[in-house]
Amino acid sequence: MGSKVDVKKWIYASIVVFALFCIVEAILTRLVLAPGYPDMYPASSDVQDVGMLRLYTYVGRAIFSVLFVYLFIRGYEGKQGIGEGARFGLWVGLLMYVPTIFYSLVVTKFGVGLLLTRAAGSLIETVLLGVAANWVYARKAAVPKP
């Protein structure tokens, strides 16, 4: 665990994590959770600007990605394999999504089944993000051959 952060690897890993985050979130939201959403969000005449909502979502994902990778590399131990990233993603997911289930029971109209499905999907998502961060950060720089 070094005190110096390789900024290039941090930025590169953040971009990879952001892209994977957007892809997995789209799959999770549109394919897994979408069937339960129409009951929760009926069509209304009070339509917000979809472009701004999408922008806020991407800004939030970008901030999450940069901070996620930063926390990962601050505790990076350099162990072989994907286990280090998977463990990190698991712990971050547990920290974020288990308490969220309980908060959401109070502040939303979502049922327990939908909340548990969302939490499980998000937990898998953070494990994948941890593996991606580990994969990028653990890569050795290409050494030119003489």
**Which has the higher per-residue pLDDT, 39 or 114?**
114
Residue type, 143: V
Residues 99-125 pLDDT 10s: 999 998 898 888 888 888 889 999 999
Whole-structure pTM value? 0.82
Grade residue 5 by pLDDT with cuts at 50, 70 and 90: confident
Give the separation between CA 82 and CA 87, rounded to whole angstroms.
9
Domain boundaries, the chain: 7-39+52-138
Give the separation between CA 125 and CA 130, rounded to whole angstroms.
9
Report pLDDT for 132: 95
Give the separation between CA 52 and CA 42, rounded to whole angstroms.
20
Give the separation between CA 96 and CA 130, rounded to whole angstroms.
14
